[in-house]
Amino acid sequence: MPEILELLTDKFETPIGEMTIAVDRDGNLRAVDWTDHKDRMLNLLRRHYGKDGFRLQPSPNPGGLTDGLKRYFAGELASIEKLPTRTAGTAFQREVWRALRDIPCGATVSYKQIAERIGRPNAVRAVGLANGANPIGIVVPCHRVIGAGGALTGYGGGVERKRWLLNHESKKRQSSI
């Protein structure tokens, strides 16, 4: 029988809604989502680890990651850059997610630019699908990916949250220059 992945969960308030995180016993962030999208987070976890492949256990500030995310929302943007993550997903998805972490805070890129950065310029739609399957939003900053014309396209937490996150990063980045 395969080992069940135990995930420690915590909830906390942000300026744009309550957030839930899931962290493994080694201190790696496995999932982040808004509590009003709890079902989506559970579906992503099931897709990555199997229907009965994980167990959620409430735990305050697992691995200090709640505090790291709170610092981000308080304006210490670099606090998310070194947060440890671990994801399942396909090799292609993980490649896209690594590329997302290379997008500088306060910057945006298009799906096409991500496809080009990973050496697959014709995989724009696949990049979009991988972006949408990202279980670690904000830390793996899928909100920094926009449409080719600059439109704020799809974000699992909603376009208004995406707009807030981009404004938050842009303002803080400009004030530190």
Q: Is 5 helix (H, G, I), strand (E, B) or coil?
A: strand
- Beta-carbon contacts of 9 under 8 Å, excluding residues fewer than 6 positions away, are 20, 21, 22, 23, 56, 57, 58, 59, 62
**Counting Cβ atoms within 10 Å, is residue 41 exposed (0-12), middle (13-18) or buried (19+)?**
buried
Does the annotation count 105 as an active-site position? no
Closest by CA position to 144, among listed 87, 106, 94: 106
Q: Is 148 helix (H, G, I), strand (E, B) or coil?
A: coil
Beta bridge partners of 58: 9
- Of the listed 41, 142, 146, 166, which one is catalytic? 142
Active site residues: 142
